[in-house]
Amino acid sequence: MKVLYILNDSCFYRRMCWFSINSLRYYNKSIEIEILYICDNGKDNRKIANLNDFDLGIPWFTREMFIEEISKFNVVFRFVYDCDLGEESGFPSAQRKEFIKVKGKDILLLDSDTFIFDDIEPLFSHTTNSEIIASKTEWGECGGFLPILGTSLSPFNSGVILFKDDLLQKYGSEVYDLILEIKYEKTDLGKWYGDYERKYSPKEAFKLGREEIAFSYWVVKEKLKYSYFDQSEVQTVNYKSQTKIYHTMTQNWLQQWSRFYRGSKFLPPKKLNKRLFIRPSS
């Protein structure tokens, strides 16, 4: 049982990761945390709206500074120096192929653009017998679905996923090829997704969505038992109510950071006292 982050040499993602782990440790001092750190010297960084240019009191880290500071939270690093993305260079989601190097079973994968508002260890004892537990994409929450191998699936957001057993490593061994299958429309799903994105989304959005589509396809292809986190466990994009994990999405992170932090001081939302809603006995 462990929590896993995958990170590369993006300055902004290092910042987000520090705050995510800072908030995680606020509620759980002992759960194992591992960072799969891809030493790519920034060549595969995702660029979104000049987010690297913001300061506003957010700590700035070089790789060496980040390692030193994050190690104070009792974090294990697994460094990868030879991640060759080939034709997918510049597409950091393809770095998930390095999951094959992670050891252990029952792994909760967290994106760096998350805030933790409660102890997440109970998620590992999820009452379902699912092998994969994740949340839906925003599109899926609105009723969208993917046609996959003769069935329909509300697509997964791949920013918060609980992989049971050794499924994380298995996914890592296949994700790169699956991404290429989507890119070159080698499957019916790839053709459908290509048509959809050419019609509704800019080219960059198409590129950034392929790994999540590939993950959804993989779950169906492998005939895995899956379920979705409920709103009390994970919320994505919009923070609506009390939850354990809030996945902001990168483009929204800065605004939400200013909501829950003052400099490096964590200001989590206050939990509602359930006793306030209990009708007193007569």
* pLDDT tens figures, 72-85: 999 999 999 999 99
Query: Region 132-142: what's the mean pLDDT?
Result: 88
Query: Region 46-56: what's the mean pLDDT?
Result: 59
**Is the whole-model pTM more than 0.75?**
yes
Is the predicted pLDDT of residue 278 greater than 70, yes or no? no
pLDDT higher for 70 or 129?
70
Q: What is the mean pLDDT of the chain?
A: 88
CA 102 to chain centre: 16
Is the predicted pLDDT of residue 272 greater than 90, yes or no? no
pLDDT higher for 189 or 73?
73
Three-state DSSP class for residue 251: helix
Three-state DSSP class for residue 159: strand
pLDDT higher for 280 or 19?
19
Residue among 212, 210, 176, 215 at smallest CA distance from 194: 210
Is the predicted pLDDT of residue 273 greater than 70, yes or no? no
Is the predicted pLDDT of residue 207 greater than 50, yes or no? no
Q: Give the whole-number percent of the chain exceeding pLDDT 70.
A: 89
Cβ neighbors of 73 (< 8 A, separation 6 or more) are 21, 22, 25, 33
